[in-house]
Structure 1
Amino acid sequence: MDETEDLEILLTNDDGIGSVGIRALHDALAEVGNVTVVAPADDQSAVGRAISTEVEIEEHALGYAIQGTPSDCVVAGLEAIGPYPDLVVSGCNRGANLGQYVLGRSGTVSAAVEAAFFGVPAIAVSLYVPTGDLAFHEIEVTREDYAEAVRATEYLAERAISEGVFEDADYLNVNAPVPDNEPAGMTITSPSHVYDMDATHNGDSITLHDRIWERMAEANIDDPEGTDRRAVVEGNISVSPLTAPHTTEHHDALDTLVGDYENC
């Protein structure tokens, strides 16, 4: 094998260690380096960067199952289980993680962000599953459906570090379509800023609606060219190079406001 032979990879997800997507990635990444799986014991979708103070761990045929969140898995994998990785991969998620507003919600993406705070390069990988007229839970996803996501992840894992990608990005958010007749292209994107949430009050409950998913089901989106959602709906693999959140920027208006505080 080439220079990536000894690449150490920590693999996690938020769908749970028994999911089809993590098995598909594991088998492909095993051709790229040494893979250690530390993943939630069960589904932890949409938990964001929730963290625990103590979690139970069990050995699993694929690696280690943690009774906790994706962020728990990253911290445990890096600090308590080892070997210390060169790269963290999170996925492959059953369902896309697209748009700026999703980044903080997604357990898949949050695992990559957690790795970024440790200074470890990371790739979050998700599969866009078109629903059409069906509800998301009614869609059956097979291992073959992950083929484009797997191909893209293996390609990036094998090359991104040595090519210097992570000198400018902390992590990559990758979203892939299900396979079509022709291999999907890969394009660099930025997360869409389009946001469309609403809520309805129904007696003793309130129902929250993410209208973006309804638009995507109909391939009817108004996201600009170059955004992640548009790329995936058009059949391409979206790669968004991102940095960990909460960066500090200089703002003249805030300087003035803080400077006037003692005079108020």
Structure 2
Amino acid sequence: MRPKILLTNDDGVNSGGLWAAYEAMSAFADVTVVAPAVQQSAVGRSISIFEPLRMNEVRIGDRAAYSVEGRPTDALLLGLYGLNLKPDLVVSGINLGENISYESITTSGTVGAAMEAANQGVPALAYSLQMSDQGSKFTDPRCSTQDFSQAKEVVARLTQMFLASGLPKNCHLVNINIPACRMEGYEVTTLGTRLFDTYVEMRIDPRGKPYYWINGDVIYTPEPHSDVTALRNNRVSVTPLTLDNTAFAACGDLKKLLADQGF
């Protein structure tokens, strides 16, 4: 029997990246698309717990999908429990824009959906594609003219590998980032520490009232084996992640601090 894959994303059900992943995987798996109705980037792993959710069966071209009026994690949960899908694997992506470093990993809706899948006991992969033009991340994903041929090759190869072998021990999900330029190979990586130099810009609207843009300049911190460095060197970054955020290296110092203070 063919493996079953639940495919979601954070760019929305109409995104070219989502359907590139579908095309790459449907050759060897039964793929069900359950994705947000509209753009939901940077919402992380947030869940809609104060409002009802609607899910509609739609057709994108000649292909069926489920469109969820909610966040990526909502779509994932409705796929698992609203549709009672029992996938062998969850795939999130292909996201338009890389998701690398400490900064992106916690805000990314693409990675957030994969994290929630792992939390529900389903192995998951998150795929993101670097954009050579940073502005391309913020265009309507339905209008993307991105060439996905290289990304589809990566998705097909790695997804089949993980379906056959499973995820490594002590790994809950894998975050995969694909370079915009011709790739120079694959590399197992760790998370980089910084990606942006963040700032807030205040502007004045036509009525004289202030409004604000949160923005940031892309920076590069040289770190061997990091996902940031791998992508900079045109290598596919393959980063094993865990849901356990415990800072084990700090436990000893924290115990000593508490003991010294009489706790």
Q: Normalised by the shorter chain, which TM-score bucket? A: 0.7 to 0.9
Change (3 A) 1:137 1:115: closer
Using the alignment, how far apart are the partners of 2:177 and 2:211 within structure 1? 33
8 A Cα contact 1:172 1:239, kept in partner: yes
Change (3 A) 1:245 1:150: farther
Change (3 A) 1:136 1:156: closer
Deviation at 1:72, TM superposition (A): 0.4
Deviation at 1:197, TM superposition (A): 1.8
Which stretches in structure 2 are left out of the alignment for 5+ residues?
Answer: 205-209
Deviations 1:55-75 (A, max 9, x none): 101001232100000000111
Using the alignment, how far apart are the partners of 1:236 and 1:81 within structure 2? 37
8 A Cα contact 1:194 1:223, kept in partner: no
Deviations 1:174-219 (A, max 9, x none): 1112353xx541111111112522334556334433222xx4xxxx
Out of 170, 173, 188, which is 1:171 matched to? 173
Counterpart of 1:191 in structure 2 is 191
8 A Cα contact 2:12 2:38, kept in partner: yes
2:116 pairs with 1:114: yes
Using the alignment, how far apart are the partners of 1:43 and 1:63 within structure 2? 16
Using the alignment, how far apart are the partners of 1:149 and 1:194 within structure 2? 25
- Which deviates more, 187-196 or 242-251? 242-251
Dislocated runs of 4+, deviation >2 Å = 134-143, 161-168, 198-209, 245-250, 252-261
Using the alignment, how far apart are the partners of 2:14 and 2:202 within structure 1? 37
8 A Cα contact 2:96 2:137, kept in partner: no
Change (3 A) 1:205 1:83: closer
Secondary structure of the corresponding residue to residue 165 of structure 2: coil
Please give the TM-score of this superposition, normalised by the length of structure 1. 0.84
Using the alignment, how far apart are the partners of 1:245 and 1:100 within structure 2? 14
8 A Cα contact 1:199 1:208, kept in partner: yes
Higher percent of residues as strand: 2
Deviation at 1:136, TM superposition (A): 4.8
Aligned-residue Cα RMSD (Å) equals 2.5
Secondary structure of the corresponding residue to residue 211 of structure 1: strand
Which stretches in structure 1 are left out of the alignment for 5+ residues?
Answer: 216-220
Out of 5, 26, 30, which is 2:26 matched to? 30
Please give the TM-score of this superposition, normalised by the length of structure 2. 0.84
Using the alignment, how far apart are the partners of 2:223 and 2:259 within structure 1? 39
Out of 86, 96, 110, which is 2:88 matched to? 86
Using the alignment, how far apart are the partners of 2:184 and 2:37 within structure 1? 32
Using the alignment, how far apart are the partners of 1:234 and 1:79 within structure 2? 41
Aligned length: 248
Secondary structure of the corresponding residue to residue 58 of structure 1: strand
Out of 45, 56, 59, which is 1:58 matched to? 56
Deviation at 1:164, TM superposition (A): 3.9
8 A Cα contact 1:121 1:166, kept in partner: no
Counterpart of 2:221 in structure 1 is 222
Counterpart of 1:218 in structure 2 is none
Deviations 1:66-125 (A, max 9, x none): 000000011111112132111000001111111111111000010010011012111101
8 A Cα contact 2:123 2:167, kept in partner: no
Change (3 A) 1:199 1:146: same
Counterpart of 2:251 in structure 1 is 251
Using the alignment, how far apart are the partners of 1:162 and 1:55 within structure 2? 35
8 A Cα contact 1:39 1:65, kept in partner: yes
